Amino acid sequence: MPSTITPPEIDRHRISDGNNGHRPPTDKRTGGNGEGDGDNWNNRPRGHRGPHERISQARIGLFFALGGDLMFFVALISVFFVTKASGHFDAYDHFINQWLPTAIPSILWLNTIALLLSSVTAEIARRAMFRDVDAMDEWFGLGRPVSYRAALWLSATLALGILFLAGQWVAWDQLAAQHVFFRSNPSSHFFYLITITHAVHLFLGIVALIVALAALKFSRSLATRQVFVDTTVWYWHVMGALWIFLFLLLEFGQ
Amino acid sequence: MNPLPIPTNPGAPFMARLLRHEWVSAKLRHATHHRTIGFGYLLLSLVAVIIGALLSLIMRTHLAWPNWQLPLHGPILPEEYLALVTMHGTLMLFFVLTVAPQSGFGNLILPAQLGTRHMAFPRINAAGLYLTAFALVTLLAAFFVPGGAPIGGWTAYPPLSATPLAGPGQGFGMDLWLASIALFSIATTLNAINMLTTITNLRCEGLTWERLPLTVWGWFTAALLSILAFSVLLAAILLLFCDRHLHSGFFFPAQDLISGTLLQHRGDGSPLLWLHLFWFFGHPEVYIAILPGMGLTSMVIANFSRRRVFAYRLMIATTLLIGFLGILVWGHHMFVAGLNPFAGTAFSISTIAIALPAAAKVFSWLATTWGSRPRLATPMLFALGFVSLFITGGLTGPILAQPILDEYLHNTFFVVAHFHLIMAMAGVFGLFCATYYWAPLLFHRTLSEPLGKLHFWTTLLGAYSTFLPMHFTGLAAEPRHYSQLTGIAGPSAALLQSTLPLQRHITASAIFLVCAQLPFFLNLLLAWRRPANKDTNPWDATTMEWAPNAFNPHPIDQPSIVYRGPSHYADTGTEFLPQWSPVNTFNTEAE
């Protein structure tokens, strides 16, 4: 960020207290550092390079977490195909395969559209976090346009996400009305396993959205708000893309 | 510290105000400090290893003297023996060999070796520790529930793990086992995410990937494997849970007969499916256990031989290659389980391929120390012991990797001997090496050398004396998981009877091996009473954790800078260039 005033020495060299208070609303070490490099944060030691480093660390952590998470679904889907193909020979030497495809409630199409839309609103919210003009406004003390903009779109995402989960509930309800339960057939095991594990992940995403909204409201540091919103939205995107794949698998892969 | 009044900011929510409180934030910082967490993990694995070792002694005593009565308990029933096998394996594999090298020493040493002060996600890290502790308590609780501990082995093969009909312990005990391992999987994944992010993002100035110590490469590869493998285990546990409680049939074959009960209408599942899922986790798991030890061995041998690590880049490559191949070999646990023979051939080839990077590692260890005059301090002895056990245990690997040989050997004690030498003993030697080597950092005291050497030689003797003879009893067809070798009908009885003297020898050696750990604990206790070391780098080590104040940095210290790769020792004299030294005092080339 460009410099206006070089803060006094005692403010610039304040020992970090682990972000638990006593910290000015923005990083004050913005004036020249006396080394003639325009206080380029990249010249600072690792771990002290400002918001960009923080957000990249959070993203990388999320990337590894999602890598592991996707392996979870890879395992489930492998079992899906193995179970679909397996059977046994009966006493008359007939190959018996018990797999009866589960009819997918058509509300899942609507749910999918809701989830796709929620990814769009989430992306708008994420991009709103990085608008220089809004950040400058906040820097000058002219309100918190970043939070207002992002909170609006994030709330829309939250609403669409809850709509998706409600839609999934309706789908389970419809299946139950047709007496299709988890235990009914190998294919219904997978319908419920896949939709429920995905719904649990999406529920975690909704919790993350609520936390991000709380951060938008209460956190004073713009960098912190960016981290919360950015990681939440990336998680949301991955869960959306994963759902597209899982939905296509259930709709056409049985 | 005097608790200061909570700063009044009526707008801030209560939690935010509480967290801003000086005393609370200091406590939180302590609880999430990587050293607190690292010691916490080591404490957990110490508890686990003591219980696990005691269980193994009970098993051994029962095998050698079947009529022996356990004090306060009475005779050991076959199902109790199986429960001992299960809990011993689970405790040792998960809570000792995964927790101690990766989560324990990883948390303690990794940040200092990277020249940073903290892990990437301290709170997630702390959550991992508490989850692991909770998982351990859950597992141990299985001893005290109706039916007792599970009897399905640490691999929990269905269909016997999928129904309470299979025996005592397969009811509530098995559920607790599943819950414990599910928690453990989540905890290990959290820890791995934290370590991977720390290594990719928080290396200090100048610490390029090529300059990373091989210990860090070991932790990095093991963490990658953890991320890939434990998620699959979690999925498998979820499916097994469904089979147990939600009437699905993923792992039940059609018309399965268990304990006289015919299980109908449970689908066309396959126990082999569980084996695939489990060993896709299980084989990487054994590399998670051993890779940190391999990295440490490389660094310690170079340190005490005062040499550079032979073929450093190749050692990085072999670490990654072992990790990669480790994902592709799971089928070699299933040669006799009904695996397609063609698949067996493929898995056999990929398994034997691991001999290449493994042998490259052994040659590098030997070449590094060859012709040097190594300082045979205790850490070096344990590193050499690691190499020795790795070779002895490793040589039976290519034998067992061949389906035709494995068919005979798989369910015998030959396999038990193999994995105890290469994984359990080598892994434990890696842990001892780490403890003696890093003691000056962890306890600010060097451990006693005479006691350390006594510990090393007796442990080495005990390890070989316990596990080498198992090869012979295995070749004589001693089956695994048999609680009793006497009183069996048929011609095999005489064969098994003939191994009894050797059984008694193995049992005596196992007791000796456990007793050989007393000098170690004595050493730790005595070190407590000695004054602290003044010398911050007693081994003339070159890696960053030994830099002044690197392990225990003060907040206003300058950030660390790395100037070169590790283990730069002068060819001739006593000089060495640590990674943190800005000046090159060698007259020879720098890099």
If you search the block for the tokens 């502790």, which residue do you land on? B133
Mean pLDDT over residues B374-395, rounded?
96
Which ranges of chain A does DSSP label H, i.e. alpha helix? 9-12, 51-85, 107-128, 132-139, 145-177, 186-218, 222-252
Sign of CA dihedral A123, A125, A128, A130: negative
**Beta strand pairing status for B261-263 and B256-258?**
antiparallel
Q: Which of A102, A91, A106, A245 is nearest to A167 (CA)?
A: A106
Does the structure show a pLDDT above 60 at A17? no
Distance CA(B60)–CA(B507), nearest Å, equals 5
Residues 6+ apart with CB under 8 A from B13: A218
User: Is there a contact between A75 and B13 if contact means CB atoms under 8 Å apart?
Assistant: no
Give the model confidence (pLDDT) of B140-188 as tens digits. Answer: 999 999 999 999 999 999 988 998 988 899 999 999 999 999 999 999 9
User: Is there a contact between A75 and B232 if contact means CB atoms under 8 Å apart?
Assistant: yes
Backbone phi, then psi, for B175, in 5-degree steps? -60, -40
Does the structure show a pLDDT above 60 at A23? no
Helical axes B172-201 vs B214-245, angle rounded to 10° = 150
Token pair belonging to B522 = 């004595």
On whether the CB atoms of residues B274 and B264 are closer than 8 A, the answer is: no
Which ranges of B32-105 does DSSP label H, i.e. alpha helix? 34-64, 78-90
The predicted structure's pLDDT at residue A117: 97
The predicted structure's pLDDT at residue B11: 59
What is the extent of the structural domain holding B578?
A: 541-591
**What residues of chain B lie within 8 A of the CB of A56, using their CB?**
201
In a domain, B422, yes or no: no
Shortest distance between the Cα of B246 and any Cα of chain A, in A, equals 7
In a domain, B528, yes or no: no
User: Is there a contact between B201 and A53 if contact means CB atoms under 8 Å apart?
Assistant: yes
Give the model confidence (pLDDT) of A67-92 as tens digits. Answer: 999 999 999 999 999 999 988 888 89
On whether the CB atoms of residues A67 and B207 are closer than 8 A, the answer is: no
User: Is there a contact between A75 and B121 if contact means CB atoms under 8 Å apart?
Assistant: no
On whether the CB atoms of residues A174 and A195 are closer than 8 A, the answer is: no
User: Is there a contact between B250 and A197 if contact means CB atoms under 8 Å apart?
Assistant: no
**What residues of chain A lie within 8 A of the CB of B277, using their CB?**
75, 78-79
In a domain, B132, yes or no: no
Does the structure show a pLDDT above 50 at A179? yes
Token pair belonging to A9 = 């020495």
Mean pLDDT over residues B110-121, rounded?
92
Shortest distance between the Cα of B71 and any Cα of chain A, in A, equals 45
Q: How many domains does chain B have?
A: 2
Shortest distance between the Cα of A132 and any Cα of chain B, in A, equals 25
User: Is there a contact between B117 and A47 if contact means CB atoms under 8 Å apart?
Assistant: yes
User: Is there a contact between B235 and A76 if contact means CB atoms under 8 Å apart?
Assistant: yes
Token pair belonging to A150 = 């992002």
Give the model confidence (pLDDT) of B303-327 as tens digits. Answer: 999 999 999 999 999 999 999 999 9
Q: Which of B338, B329, B163 is nearest to B252 (CA)?
A: B163
Q: pLDDT-derived band of residue B590, with 50, 70 and 90 as boundaries?
A: very low
In a domain, B393, yes or no: no
Mean pLDDT over residues A227-253, rounded?
96
Q: How far is CA B32 from the centre of its chain?
A: 23
**What residues of chain B lie within 8 A of the CB of A15, using their CB?**
555-556
Chain A nearest-CA residue for B203: A46
In a domain, B446, yes or no: no
In a domain, B553, yes or no: yes
Distance CA(A29)–CA(A31), nearest Å, equals 6
Token pair belonging to B487 = 């009183």
User: Is there a contact between B228 and A69 if contact means CB atoms under 8 Å apart?
Assistant: no
Q: What is the CA radius of gyration of chain A?
A: 25
Distance CA(B224)–CA(B57), nearest Å, equals 34
A-interface mutation test, from B34, B123, B250, most A Cβ less than 10 A away:
B250
Shortest distance between the Cα of A220 and any Cα of chain B, in A, equals 10
Give the model confidence (pLDDT) of B488-531 as tens digits. Answer: 788 778 888 888 999 999 999 999 999 999 999 999 999 988 88
Distance CA(B379)–CA(B446), nearest Å, equals 11
Q: pLDDT-derived band of residue A35, with 50, 70 and 90 as boundaries?
A: low
C-beta atoms surrounding B288 within 10 Å: 29
DSSP codes joined into one string, A203-238? HHHHHHHHHHHHHHHH---HHHHHHHHHHHHHHHHH
Does the structure show a pLDDT above 70 at A26? no
The predicted structure's pLDDT at residue B290: 96
Give the model confidence (pLDDT) of B331-341 as tens digits. Answer: 999 999 988 88
DSSP codes joined into one string, B405-435? HHHHHTTBHHHHHHHIIIIIIHHHHHHHHHH
On whether the CB atoms of residues A151 and A212 are closer than 8 A, the answer is: no
A-interface mutation test, from B200, B219, B224, most A Cβ less than 10 A away:
B200
The predicted structure's pLDDT at residue A25: 47
Distance CA(B309)–CA(B365), nearest Å, equals 8
Return the higher-pLDDT residue of A32 and B545.
B545
Shortest distance between the Cα of B483 and any Cα of chain A, in A, equals 34
Average pLDDT, chain B: 91
B-interface mutation test, from A64, A192, A227, most B Cβ less than 10 A away:
A64
**What residues of chain A lie within 8 A of the CB of B557, using their CB?**
none
Shortest distance between the Cα of A241 and any Cα of chain B, in A, equals 19
In a domain, B577, yes or no: yes
Residue-level length of chain A: 254
Does the structure show a pLDDT above 70 at B253? yes
User: Is there a contact between A86 and B270 if contact means CB atoms under 8 Å apart?
Assistant: yes
Burial class (CB in 10 A: 0-12, 13-18, 19+), A5: exposed
**What residues of chain A lie within 8 A of the CB of B270, using their CB?**
82, 86
Distance CA(B517)–CA(B435), nearest Å, equals 13
Burial class (CB in 10 A: 0-12, 13-18, 19+), B103: buried
Backbone phi, then psi, for A18, in 5-degree steps? 70, 30
A79 → closest Cβ in B25, B229, B273: B273
Q: pLDDT-derived band of residue A2, with 50, 70 and 90 as boundaries?
A: very low
Give the model confidence (pLDDT) of B284-306 as tens digits. Answer: 999 999 999 999 999 999 999 99
Give the model confidence (pLDDT) of A38-64 as tens digits. Answer: 667 777 766 677 788 889 999 999 999
**What residues of chain B lie within 8 A of the CB of A14, using their CB?**
none
Q: pLDDT-derived band of residue B591, with 50, 70 and 90 as boundaries?
A: very low
In a domain, B417, yes or no: no
C-beta atoms surrounding B34 within 10 Å: 23
**Inter-chain Cβ pairs, chain A and chain B, closer than 8 A:** 132
ipTM of the complex: 0.91
Query: Cis link prior to B159 (omega < 30° from 0)?
Result: yes
Find the helix or strand (DSSP H, E) in which B140 lies: helix B122-141
